């Protein structure tokens, strides 16, 4: 088995001469058994926890410098070990007077805020009995768990600017409550709870606390129902989209399907896409789920953007699949069985299908786009191995001394100096396979 080395460039040469453990941002070469691929991350990179079983990379939503310090040195720890470590850190902070005053101030202010918003929170809990907002009770529990897991000691004293902005947020929240109360707009009154919470954390903990707490605090917005006006404006377009996509899918499957408004005509049968079939329930739940996954996952900002942007299309596609399957069952089975599938069974499989699509999307992002800080290691010897591949190349030795295959192989065999490569192929790529 002979390793194959594809071209070296100037950047690759600089990376290859660094030994493991040296400083710098470049990757290092690591010895590995024959036939094994070893990824050698740089000192700046770190392993990230996985979501849905997929190794994640990069930074996540709300992942600033403070968040990185939390995860440093704790990548591989088990959940119970991490829970114990964070609980011990909380107890230790409560023993420090300056940290105890910050935490007690937040606890007292949040308690007063909850008492002030008690009528709105009761209305929100009533809305959770609706299947469209059945996820609402999980949201505050999830946000509280993330706040505990991401918590960092507050930097005291708190800057005057942070206290001023916190007070401004609280004043604006209560001012908006008074305004919407005169118009009896209940949902907007509920929404002001979120900026009021942000104002409390900013007032008591300052900018350093807001840096790691803003994402779970804003996530609380998903525990409240949509305004009635927004629901009415969304239902019509969602019904139309579901009808068009489902009709096209049925036609693609060979059925004589025609769209008449929000109805699908299949022969003598008319399948109406009513409000319950619009997919709004799936949309609200899946958007909250996608945001939660972005928060706990560790990816780059553009990967987070792709996942968030795909939440709405995935929810609409899954709802259209549900309607399409119902139309097929009306043609091949009796109407009673089709109704049972549509109203009972299909609702239970919609979320698993959406999660499978999201899993596949994360799999593509995790395996197609690799971080720049990772590189494949050279493979040590065996018969026909690259000389010197079992140890890091000494500093100053040109990487071009290694055998090169490809366009430069002829010049190397002829005794001439290998021509340096330029362009996108200039970096080092070493694979532990070859022709025997």
More confident residue, 78 or 119: 119
Please give the average per-residue pLDDT across 249-264, as a whole number.
Answer: 87
Give the pTM. Answer: 0.67
Tokens 């409240």 — which residue?
Answer: 224
More confident residue, 351 or 5: 351
pLDDT tens, residue by residue, 41-91:
443 333 334 444 333 433 445 444 444 444 444 444 688 899 999 999 999
Please give the Cα distance from 369 to 308 (Å, whole number): 18
Record the tokens describing residue 200, joined without a space.
């409390």
Asked whether 102 and 108 are in contact (CB, 8 A), the reply is no
Asked whether 75 and 49 are in contact (CB, 8 A), the reply is yes
Residue ranges covered by each domain of the chain: 79-223, 228-368
**Which range has the top average pLDDT, 91-105, 238-252, 322-336?**
91-105
* CA dihedral angle for residue 344, residue 264, residue 333, residue 314, rounded to 10 degrees: -50
Percent of the chain surpassing pLDDT 90: 36
pLDDT value for 69: 42
pLDDT tens, residue by residue, 400-417:
454 444 444 444 444 444
pLDDT value for 434: 42
Asked whether 361 and 52 are in contact (CB, 8 A), the reply is no
What are the backbone angles phi and psi of residue 2, rounded to the nearest 5°? -120, 120
- Checking if the pLDDT of 359 tops 70, the result is yes
Poorest-confidence range of 67-81, 97-111, 139-153, 311-325? Answer: 67-81
More confident residue, 388 or 299: 299
DSSP string of 360-399, one letter each residue: HHHHHHHHHS--TT--BPP---STTPPTTTTSPPPTT--G
| Residue 170, CA distances (Å) to 104, 121, 181 in order | 18, 18, 17
DSSP string of 246-306, one letter each residue: HHHHHHHTT--EEEETTEEEETTEEEE--GGGSSHHHHHHHHHHHHHHHHHS---HHHHHH
Please give the Cα distance from 330 to 288 (Å, whole number): 33
Poorest-confidence range of 37-51, 270-284, 365-379? Answer: 37-51
- Checking if the pLDDT of 198 tops 90, the result is yes
């Amino acid at each position: 088995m002979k390793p194959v080395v594809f071209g070296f460039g100037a950047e690759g040469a600089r990376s290859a001469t660094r030994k493991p453990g040296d400083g710098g941002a470049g990757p290092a070469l690591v010895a590995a058994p024959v036939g094994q691929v070893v990824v050698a991350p740089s000192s700046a990179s770190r392993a990230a926890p996985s979501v849905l079983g997929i190794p994640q990379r990069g930074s996540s939503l709300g992942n600033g410098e403070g968040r990185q310090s939390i995860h440093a040195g704790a990548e591989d720890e088990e959940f119970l070990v991490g829970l114990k470590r964070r609980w011990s850190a909380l107890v230790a902070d409560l023993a420090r007077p300056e940290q105890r005053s910050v935490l007690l101030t937040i606890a007292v202010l949040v308690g007063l805020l909850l008492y002030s918003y008690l009528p709105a929170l009761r209305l929100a809990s009533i809305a959770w009995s609706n299947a469209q907002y059945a996820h609402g009770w999980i949201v505050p529990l999830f946000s509280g768990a993330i706040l505990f897991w991401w918590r960092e000691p507050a930097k005291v004293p708190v800057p005057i600017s942070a206290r001023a902005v916190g007070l401004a947020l609280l004043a604006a929240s209560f001012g908006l409550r008074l305004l919407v109360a005169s118009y009896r707009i209940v949902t907007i009154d509920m929404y002001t709870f979120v900026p009021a919470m942000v104002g409390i954390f900013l007032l008591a903990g300052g900018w350093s606390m807001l840096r790691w707490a803003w994402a779970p605090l804003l996530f609380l917005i998903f525990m409240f129902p949509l305004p009635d006006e927004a629901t009415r404006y969304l239902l019509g377009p969602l019904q139309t989209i579901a009808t068009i996509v489902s009709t096209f899918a049925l036609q693609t499957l060979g059925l004589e399907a025609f769209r008449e408004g929000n109805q699908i005509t299949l022969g003598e049968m008319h399948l109406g896409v009513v409000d319950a079939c619009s997919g709004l329930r799936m949309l609200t739940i899946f958007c909250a789920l996608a945001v939660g996954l972005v928060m706990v996952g560790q990816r780059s900002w553009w990967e987070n953007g792709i996942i968030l942007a795909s939440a709405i299309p995935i929810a609409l596609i899954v709802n259209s699949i549900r309607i399409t399957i119902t139309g097929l069952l009306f043609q091949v089975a009796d109407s009673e069985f089709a109704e049972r599938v549509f109203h009972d069974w299909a609702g239970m499989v919609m979320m698993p299908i959406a999660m499978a699509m999201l899993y596949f999307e994360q799999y593509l992002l995790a395996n197609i786009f690799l971080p720049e800080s990772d590189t494949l290691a050279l493979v040590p010897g065996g018969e026909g191995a690259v000389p010197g591949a079992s140890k890091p190349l000494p500093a100053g030795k040109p990487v071009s001394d290694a055998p090169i295959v490809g366009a430069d192989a002829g010049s190397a065999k002829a005794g001439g100096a290998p021509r340096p490569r330029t362009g996108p192929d200039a970096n080092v790529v070493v694979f532990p396979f070859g022709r025997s």
